[in-house]
Chain A
Amino acid sequence: MFRRLHKDSETLTITIDDVAMTLPAGSTVAAALLASGNMVCRKTPVSGADRAPYCLMGVCFDCLVEINGEPNQQACMVVVRPGMAVKRMPRPAPVAP
């Protein structure tokens, strides 16, 4: 869906649903999803509909994903680290109060 305007100097590798992806250092997890060709990040708990990041500024909470085993992380607020394991959330775990 999205493409990069530039070739990047410094890159690192993460996995999204166990598939490796190389991207520029400093990207957010949401940016990784947008550039991955499948921007869906989770299914909603109510109807099971697919959701993708919507606001990219931390207010909509649509971009929740599992990161390194921790569910319900805001993909647009988390910067990728080498080896990070990102998982789309088929059934979101309950959100902490």
Chain B
Amino acid sequence: MSEPIDLAIIGAGPAGMAAAALAAGHGLDVVVYDENQAPGGQIYRGFEAVAADRAADLDFLGDSYRAGLAIAHAFRASRARYQPSTSVWLIQKDRTIGISHAGRARMVEARRILIATGAMERPVPIPGWTLPGVMTVGAAQTALKAAGLVPRGPVVLGGKGPLLYQLAAQYLGAGVTIAAILETGARPLAALPHLVQAWWRTDYLEKGLALLRQIKNAGVTIIKNVSGLRAIGDGKLDAVEYRCGGTVQRIAAPLLLLHEGVIANVQLTMAIPAAHRWDEAQRCWHPVVDEYGDTDLEGIAVAGDGAGIGGAEAAASMGRLAALAAVHALGKISDGEFREIGYDLQRERRRYLAGRPFLDALYPPPAVAAALADDTLVCRCEEVSAGEIRRAVALGCTGPNQTKSFTRAGMGPCQGRMCGLTVAEVIADRLDRPMAEVGYYRIRPPIKPLTVGELAGLE
């Protein structure tokens, strides 16, 4: 192995890009790994291709997308080395990193590691969610940003959250027909108490309201307080069924896009493992980090939505804070400079986070377990139903690792990313125990499958 890298960053979203630019600017040798083929992360995905070939799309991709171009360009202009199409499948406590690129795996070492792997959409099973024709809102948005792809036919959007409305507005701008938005229980009243704090972010509230107005003015059918969402079809989606006001309705559609908010993607941090805690408000697991993103493991930090959902701007602030801590730890700035710059960055980050409690309360995580019918699949890979998990609990299983060996839920290629929270919710519900006690799957590396050739090449 060659000389250790000063700072290895995993993820080229806003957190990773902002961190890389700051750290490289202070003279650190920085390498950024990202499994995507281009920088941007989830929010600014495809920004270079859009700017170069599809600039007209910027009109409907929106202001927040455009706002990211500054961070992205600063990253490209920096001395940080960027390694796209490179997935990280292992991090060890001694800061050895396993990477894989173009069918070859190898190990590198770093003095400091910043994990900026972001979020994923909360997987919330409904009957029929494995049918071709059912995808996530984020997937549809990815297809739009990265490849300029939009659905041919009418589309139904189901669920809730800022991203869902953002996609609806982007689709309207791109000329896509939205058959209906089926909103699953937003809670404006519960969110009201958080409005005062959120007022720090009037820009953001105004943007949200403008988005909703745009969608309403376009005449899109929005049905509120929907439950019992169901994807119907034989081999592919034909229709979407839902319950509203006591009656069951059906809409014919070839494409259903689901969204129930985003959760931290903890696969990599859990695999090390770093310490994690259950976050009751966001109803998911988060790595335990301090205000500079440092975990319980020496020299390993987490920034951005992977440390807890805060949105793109907060992610960039936190990326800079973590980078600053690395710059300081490696002796490139004085204690005084560290405190001074850190103070400003902390203030900036707190301001960006001000709207978050409001959003968390307005779009609360759904009560997953209660709504799950026994025959609904929770594990997509091994096709295990909620009923099978419940039966395993009746037989004495008290945690996801036990139901895993009983039912195979969580044993498939996604390594439990799609079923982990749901399985735990079902167990917690059955045993009437808190999620923190029920726990989560033990995640083991490699967190991305390696081919036989890659494994052989490692020796």
Residues of A within 8 A of B (CB): 1-6, 8-9, 24, 26-28, 31, 34-35, 39-40, 44, 46-47, 49-62, 64, 70, 72, 76-77, 79, 95-96
Contacts and interface: CB of A to CB of B under 8 A. Distances in A.
Interface residues of B, number: 54
Interface in B433-459: 449-452, 455
Contact of A5 (B35, B36, B148, B265): B148
B88 to A, nearest CB: 12
A64 B413 contact: yes
Given A26-B49, A46-B382, A52-B132, A1 B151 contact: yes
B146 A6 contact: no
B54 interface: yes
B449 to A, nearest CB: 5
B380 interface: yes
Contact of A77 (B35, B149, B174, B382): B35
Nearest to B153: A1
Contact of B147 (A28, A52, A59): A28
Q: Is the interface of A mostly helix, strand, loop or mixed?
A: loop
Contacts of B151: 1-3
Given A51-B132, A56-B142, A57-B142, 15 more contacts: A1-B152, A1-B254, A2-B143, A27-B147, A34-B149, A39-B132, A40-B236, A50-B132, A50-B235, A50-B236, A52-B132, A56-B135, A56-B143, A70-B451, A77-B87
A72 B383 contact: no
B418 interface: yes
A61 B382 CA distance: 12
Contacts of B37: 26, 28, 79
Given A24-B147, A26-B49, A56-B143, A62 B380 contact: yes
Contacts of A47: 383
A54 B151 CA distance: 14
A26 B47 CA distance: 13
Contacts of A49: 130, 235, 383
Given A2-B152, A5-B54, A54-B139, A46 B174 contact: no
B62 interface: no
A40 B132 contact: yes
A54 B49 contact: no
Contacts of A58: 35, 87
Nearest to B84: A79
B255 interface: yes
Interface in B101-144: 103, 120-121, 123, 130, 132-136, 138-139, 142-143
